[in-house]
Amino acid sequence: MHIYKIICIFAGGNGIYTMKITDRFLKYVSFCTTSDEETNMTPSTPGQMEFAEYLAAELKQIGLQEVSLDKNGYIMATLPANTEGKPVVGFIAHMDTAPDASGKNIKPRIVSNYDGKDIVLNEKQGIVLETAKYPEILNYKGQDIIVTDGTTLLGADDKAGVAEIVSAMEYLVAHPEIKHGKIRVGFTPDEEIGQGADHFDVKAFGCDFAYTMDGGAVGELEFENFNAASCKITCHGVNVHPGYGYHKMINSMRIAYQLAVMLPRWETPEHTQGYEGFYHLIGMNGSVEETTLNYIIRDHDRARFESRKREMEHLVRKVNREYGDGTAEIVIRDQYYNMREKVEPVMHIVTLVEEAMKEVGVTPKVQPIRGGTDGARLSFEGLPCPNIFAGGENFHSRFEYLPIPSLEAARDVVLEIVKKVALLR
């Protein structure tokens, strides 16, 4: 790390600036902010509030105004306009990391001048980021890449987005010659469990439109996403001594398995792409007496999305007809909807980003999100909110990585958006 710093400092000018955003990101991932939908709290885990308190202090330190941190862990801040009559634009990112992989004691390291070969993340445990399995990494040959030690996720989703926004705001404060309207910054908790917009005050945010910095690889630009729901199925059984279980025992785990295999085999994340939806079993826990299945349901098409939910309910009814009413119970909760219908009437805010990307040498890749962002729900609350790349790859995984040039590029896109908004009338 110290060698890398020396190289950057002697590079001069932009080199120092580059290291600042890298250091900022590395500091951010030192906070454990894994969210947890089982706590029924906001934020759902204490580490998120700890990180939020740090961020709020940092925003004040770099010179932003109206910095607020509410009891639910939501941060808002303002960079006042230095030119009048312009739209108010917002930039949003989330502070939590996904519960799909550990976010505790993250040990990032920088692979300098990546040579295009497999990367040994953890020699002791034999964990390797293989190019055969993750060929996208070959796109970053010759670049400096931040990786994990193979035991945790990295947290680029979405601490890269946070770092890009904060770094861009710091740059604008230091360069008042850059004309801009009023800019609002928002950081949210619990996005990864579908609750990031639950307590977001759109009226208080006060923007004409906004962008989430929560996409993946460099160039990604998204204004349509999955419709999403969570689904929890609880199967009830009866336990007796297995030697005397004939016509008495009801094994809830076997019922849950029976239900799970009735879903279409190929409509799962590992077998779908593009606009194809899926059912995804994300967790199961059971005993003979009781077993729970936790699913997420996804589809870009609203009609197919509703059909998927009805199918889950149908399968539960089918199990109950066989084993008796109340054997299986289901709870489905909608999480967010496809923002496309809310963004299409204001497509100039998407075009503006495409132009900004081209200005900084990034090729725009407009595509649907195979996931969701806070922006999806915020769009339905009156704040059109397309999604821009944060730069990482393999999110939610021990094999997550972040090319440093992608981190820089996303920051530069934010700055270019600000400049272009200042030209609007």
Q: Which of 58, 96, 144, 416 is catalytic?
A: 96
DSSP label of 151:
S
State whether residue 47 is helix, strand or coil.
helix
* CA torsion, ordered 380, 381, 385, 389, to nearest 10 deg: -80
Strands 328-336 vs 145-147: parallel, antiparallel or unpaired = unpaired
Q: Which of 144, 149, 190, 191 is catalytic?
A: 191
268 CA to centre of own chain: 20
Any catalytic annotation for residue 149? no
**48 closest CA partner among 68, 71, 26:** 71
Largest CA distance in the chain: 83
Tokens 């600036």 found at: 17
* CA torsion, ordered 113, 406, 153, 142, to nearest 10 deg: -20
Rounded CA Rg of the chain: 23
- Let me know the angle formed at the C-alpha of 403 by 401 and 404, rounded to the nearest 5 degrees: 130
76 and 186 in contact (C-beta within 8 Å)?
yes
- Examine residue 43 and say whether the peptide bond preceding it is cis (omega within 30 degrees of 0): yes
Measured between alpha carbons, how far is 185 from 67 in angstroms, rounded to an integer?
9
Strands 220-222 vs 401-403: parallel, antiparallel or unpaired = unpaired
Kindly state the helix (H) or strand (E) to which residue 283 belongs, with its residue range.
Answer: strand 278-286
Any catalytic annotation for residue 191? yes
Residues marked as catalytic: 96, 191
